[in-house]
Amino acid sequence: MKDEGKISPAQLRILMVTIILGTTVLFMPSLVATAARQDSWLSMILGVAGGYLEAAVVLALGKRFPNQSMVQYSEAILGKFLGKILGLAMILYLILFDLIIVREFGELLVLAIMPATPITVFIVLILLLAVYASTAGLEVIARTNEVFFAPTIVVILLIFILAAKDFDLGNLLPVLENGPAPVLKGTLPTLAFFGEIGLVGFLYPKINNPGQIPKATYQALAITGGIMVMDMVAVLAAFNPESASRIILPTLVMAKNIRIAQFIEHLEALVVFIWISSVFIKITVFLYAAALAANQWSGLNRQRFLNWPLAAILAPLAIYFVPNSLALAKFIEKTSFPVLYAGEIGIPLLLLIVAAIRGKREVSGHEKAQK
């Protein structure tokens, strides 16, 4: 009867789908289209492939240390001192990631529905909600996600279907006009987004039935990959590559353009409405992961409490770290991507290589000491 606070692989699967889709559906198409033009959907497929590679690395680590998170086993692999430094880096990476999402969230709300409201209001409120859900535990977050998941997917698919009458698949031609270079360039931002699958490494010990985790993770990537490729194709077909790269939120504009029977219109409100819930889940899971990591790193055993200082750091940073949305876009592209690559792919890969060389695995006695 006691709450263990663990989630099932099935819950993990849709949690990861929501996390990745939360920001990608709206923000990624134009980022990719800037570089890869009409071949953006190819970049998207490559990005998913990158996500699979990363998932494989994280899952291999998880298999070695089934009862520990990345922060915990980095000490076992690299030794106490280096491990602690790397652990801190991971916490900072999680905070930075959450920071970007929170700010993006606020920017979009100001842009899309409430231009007169200061961004502070959105950021503070969503962080309060996130702290509320995060202190309640991963199980509660996963269940909340289960409630919102079906409507989210339905709305996304509905938009594709209703917008389909404006599609011109000719926009996708010619394929590989300028060779593979633009496609690869376009893959870079997608890697950062699909790399979010690495979060599994932090949540690993909080999932029951570890044997099912790889399957759930790969399925999550397949679902998100499928939807994102569809989204990219839809955006390219609805606009042309030129305008797709110039519109900041092409998916939203696509929804806005839907007009049927003079009554079904302004579906972007519905998209924003449902999008708030996905991004809320995403912000909360990152906050939860950061609190979990900070708790394991510090050994304080105060995970619920740690949400508060983390949110208190996040709120002012999110409000002031860049002056406006243009600066945010620039920051994301120039500064954050390298950091995100390092956090998502660099750290797990490093850990896996060192672990493989030193032959580190979880020791059963050690396992109890960790708990």
Residues that bind other proteins (CB under 8 A): 1, 3, 8, 10-11, 109, 113-114, 117, 121-122, 125-126, 129, 132-133, 136-137, 140-148, 262-263, 265-266, 269, 272-273, 276-277, 280
Q: Which residues contact 309 (CB under 8 A, 6 or more apart)?
A: none
- Looking at beta carbons only, is 160 or 280 nearer to other proteins? 280
- Looking at beta carbons only, is 4 or 179 nearer to other proteins? 4
Distance in angstroms (rounded) separating the CA atoms of residues 11 and 18: 11
Shortest CB 258 distance to other proteins, Å:
13
Shortest CB 238 distance to other proteins, Å:
21
Shortest CB 89 distance to other proteins, Å:
30
Shortest CB 204 distance to other proteins, Å:
19
Shortest CB 272 distance to other proteins, Å:
7
Shortest CB 137 distance to other proteins, Å:
8
- Looking at beta carbons only, is 65 or 288 nearer to other proteins? 288
Query: How distant, in Å, are the alpha carbons of 180, 182, 272 from that of 166?
Result: 28, 26, 21
Q: How far apart are the first and last CA of the chain?
A: 20
Neighbours of 130 (CB within 10 A): 27
- Looking at beta carbons only, is 245 or 278 nearer to other proteins? 278
- Looking at beta carbons only, is 37 or 282 nearer to other proteins? 282
Closest C-alpha to 79, from 355, 325, 314, 320: 355
Shortest CB 261 distance to other proteins, Å:
10
Distance in angstroms (rounded) separating the CA atoms of residues 73 and 94: 17
Neighbours of 82 (CB within 10 A): 13
Distance in angstroms (rounded) separating the CA atoms of residues 70 and 349: 11
- Looking at beta carbons only, is 126 or 191 nearer to other proteins? 126
Closest C-alpha to 205, from 145, 289, 149, 135: 289
Output the DSSP codes for 22-39. HHHHHHHHHHHHHHHGGG
Instruction: Determine contact, residues 232/29, Cβ cutoff 8 Å.
Output: yes
> Torsion angle of alpha carbons 257, 259, 262, 267, nearest 10°?
-80
- Looking at beta carbons only, is 78 or 213 nearer to other proteins? 213
Shortest CB 15 distance to other proteins, Å:
11
Counting Cα atoms < 13 Å in the Cβ hemisphere of 235 gives 37
- Looking at beta carbons only, is 56 or 129 nearer to other proteins? 129
- Looking at beta carbons only, is 262 or 364 nearer to other proteins? 262
Distance in angstroms (rounded) separating the CA atoms of residues 288 and 294: 10
Distance in angstroms (rounded) separating the CA atoms of residues 167 and 371: 55
CB environment 171-201: b (16+ within 10 A), e (fewer): bbeeeeeeeeebbeebbbbbbbbbbbbbbbb
Shortest CB 109 distance to other proteins, Å:
6
